[in-house]
Structures are given as structure tokens and as C-alpha cells.
């Protein structure tokens, strides 16, 4: 069974997190959400209680993560996919984490998939991912356009890096991840019962 680690922080965009998580689960992917603290994780992780707090999303919706983010428990030998959602504040916390930056490089070097959506694509910049095709939310385009081959396509696949634009492109983003992990037939199997209007991206 393929597995995915989906990061979340205070300020994460709720649709980008939940739609991706839900779509992957429908495909039979084992998903774990991990809360990234905006403090110093390395110093404070030992003082955390067992269960993480609710992450307060960008629209004020509380989401309970499965676990705290731990670099030691998130290595690419444990998961097939790493997902970084957007939401300005959440993306700032996640992309600014040196542990996450190291993990992004580790996943790509190990040939594992990394998905970034909306402002989450800033993690490609902070992780010093080599120049390649990429997209993001328009609000962070100027920070990325010089360091990458910037595209305005809804979903951009560049080797093992998959990027997308925002809440409205989350379904094609998530379904693309399903296809890359589980194949085209599984993508069609998952998309069918969702009943997308004819002519849309499914």
C-alpha cells in the first residue's frame, strides 16, 4: 500500500489539505498528517504532549493532525509521497523549517514524490531545489519565477516534483498524485464516484 505524509501548520489552507488527504485515502493510500510547529521543533519536540493540538486553518477551521512532525519519523524510507499544502501563514511555517527543507531534498534524491500546492511551492525555493518547471499561487509567483521555469498550468509535473496553484486546482493536483502513485486506472476509479461535471479535469 502506498503511503503519504501530509504536512499541516497553523494557517494551512483547509481545502488543499483536506481534498488532497481525502482523495489519496479514496485511492487506498495510507495517509498521515503531521503538525509542523512554528517554534523550534528540534528543541521543543521532547516537551510536546502525545497528541498534537488542532491546527487552525487559514479560514479558521480547526483540523486535528494525526501526529507531530518529527524529522526522524518522516524519512523517505517510510513514505512514498510528501505533501506540502499552501495557505500563506502555514506555507511560511512549513517552508521556513530547516527540517522540512532537508526532507524535501531527501525525498527527491531518493526518487520519492513531493507535492506542493499554492504558497506551499515556496518550499521548493527554500529547499534549494534545482531550477525546473513549477507553478504556485499567483501571490508568490514573483518569488519563484526567477529560480524556476514558472508555469501557469493548473498542475505541473517535473520528475518527482508535482506543483499546483490553489484551492480550485486541488482536485486535479490530488488526482495527479493518485495517478503517479497508483496508476491511471485508479485515478479513474477514484474520480468516477466524485461526479465531476463533464469536461472537467478528472
From the list 14, 16, 106, 179, the catalytic residue is 16
From the list 13, 137, 179, 182, the catalytic residue is 137
Q: Is position 137 annotated as part of the catalytic site? A: yes
Q: Do 182 and 29 form a contact (C-beta atoms < 8 A)?
A: yes
Helix, strand, or coil here: 155?
strand
CA dihedral defined by 181, 141, 105, 127, rounded to 10 degrees? -150
Give the per-residue SS3 of the chain.
CCEEEEEECCCCCHHHHHHHHHHHHHCCCEEEEEECCCCCHHHHHHHCCCCCCCEECCCCCEECCCEECCHHHCCCCCCCEEEECCCHHHHHHHHCCHHHHHHHHHHHHCCCEEEEEHHHHHHHHHCCCCCCEECCCHHHHHHHCCCCEECCCCEEEECCEEEECCHHHHHHHHHHHHHHHHCHHHHHHHHHHHCCCCCCCC
From the list 106, 118, 179, 182, the catalytic residue is 118
Residues tagged active-site: 16, 118, 137
Amino acid at each position: 500500500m502506498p503511503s503519504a505524509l501530509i504536512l499541516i501548520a497553523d494557517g494551512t489552507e483547509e481545502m488543499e489539505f483536506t481534498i488532497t488527504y481525502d482523495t489519496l485515502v479514496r485511492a487506498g493510500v495510507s495517509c498521515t498528517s503531521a503538525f509542523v510547529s512554528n517554534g523550534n521543533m528540534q528543541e521543543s519536540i521532547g516537551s510536546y504532549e502525545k497528541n498534537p493540538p488542532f491546527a487552525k486553518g487559514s479560514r479558521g477551521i480547526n483540523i486535528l493532525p494525526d501526529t507531530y512532525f518529527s524529522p526522524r519519523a518522516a524519512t523517505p524510507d517510510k513514505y512514498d509521497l510528501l505533501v506540502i499544502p499552501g495557505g500563506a501563514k502555514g506555507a511560511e511555517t512549513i517552508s521556513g523549517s530547516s527540517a522540512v527543507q532537508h526532507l524535501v531534498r531527501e525525498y527527491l534524491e531518493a526518487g520519492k514524490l513531493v507535492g506542493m500546492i499554492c504558497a506551499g511551492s515556496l518550499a521548493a525555493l527554500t529547499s534549494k531545489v534545482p531550477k525546473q518547471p513549477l507553478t504556485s499561487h499567483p501571490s508568490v509567483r514573483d518569488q519563484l519565477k526567477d529560480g524556476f521555469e514558472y508555469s501557469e498550468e493548473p498542475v505541473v509535473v517535473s520528475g518527482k516534483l508535482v506543483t499546483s496553484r490553489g484551492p480550485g486546482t486541488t482536485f486535479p493536483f490530488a488526482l495527479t498524485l493518485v495517478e503517479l502513485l497508483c496508476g491511471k486506472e485508479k485515478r479513474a476509479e477514484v474520480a468516477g464516484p466524485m461526479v465531476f461535471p463533464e469536461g472537467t479535469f478528472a
